[in-house]
């Protein structure tokens, strides 16, 4: 088991809150392509704060470029309001799950429900429906 530094490093007991924290960090890592130990995170800046600061105004800029490698037409679609909204939602889940205070973190039932909702909304876009046929 990988323990979150913020949880394990301060001597907290292992708990589901720690698991939620780890999941949040994993989600942020997956969608940004950055690791918590990345050289850009020094001093007071960490992955959680980086995403939280950029989430609403620069969400496309913080997404891992590998995830955005699509055709030109798909690139335009990715920058659409709907897709940006979904990315903001995904990053929001990651930020909430990796909150410093365990009481502010989401429970995994809510995380799962929200991720399924986001997936279903994305699959409703014409581009995605055409791919499935």
pLDDT in tens, 94-117: 999 999 999 999 999 999 999 999
Q: What average pLDDT does the structure give for the chain?
A: 80
3-state SS, residue 107: coil
Instruction: Return d(Cα 85, Cα 82) in angstroms, integer.
Output: 5
The CATH number that applies at residue 25 is 1.10.510.10
At residue 90, does pLDDT exceed 80? yes
What's the CA angle centered on 113, arms 111 and 119, to 5 degrees? 100
Work out the percent of the chain whose per-residue pLDDT is above 90.
Answer: 53
Q: In terms of residue numbers, what domain contains 29? A: 5-132
pLDDT tens track for 43-54: 899 999 999 999
pLDDT tens track for 26-42: 999 999 999 999 999 98
Kindly state the average pLDDT of the residues 3-21. 63
- Number of compact structural domains in the chain: 1
Q: How many CB atoms lie within 10 A of CB 69?
A: 9
Tokens describing residue 90: 């995904």
């Amino acid at each position: 088991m990988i323990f979150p530094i913020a949880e394990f490093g301060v001597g907290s007991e292992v708990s589901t809150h720690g698991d939620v924290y780890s999941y949040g960090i994993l989600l942020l890592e997956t969608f940004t392509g950055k690791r918590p130990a990345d050289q850009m995170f020094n001093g007071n800046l960490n992955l959680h704060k980086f995403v939280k600061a950029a989430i609403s105004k620069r969400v496309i800029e913080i997404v891992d470029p590998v995830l955005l490698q699509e055709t030109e037409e798909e690139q335009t679609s990715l920058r659409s309001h709907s897709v940006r909204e979904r990315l903001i939602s995904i990053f929001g889940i990651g930020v909430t799950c990796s909150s410093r205070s365990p009481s502010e973190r989401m429970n995994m039932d809510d995380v799962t429900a929200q991720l399924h909702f986001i997936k279903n909304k994305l699959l409703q876009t014409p581009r995605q429906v055409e791919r499935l046929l």
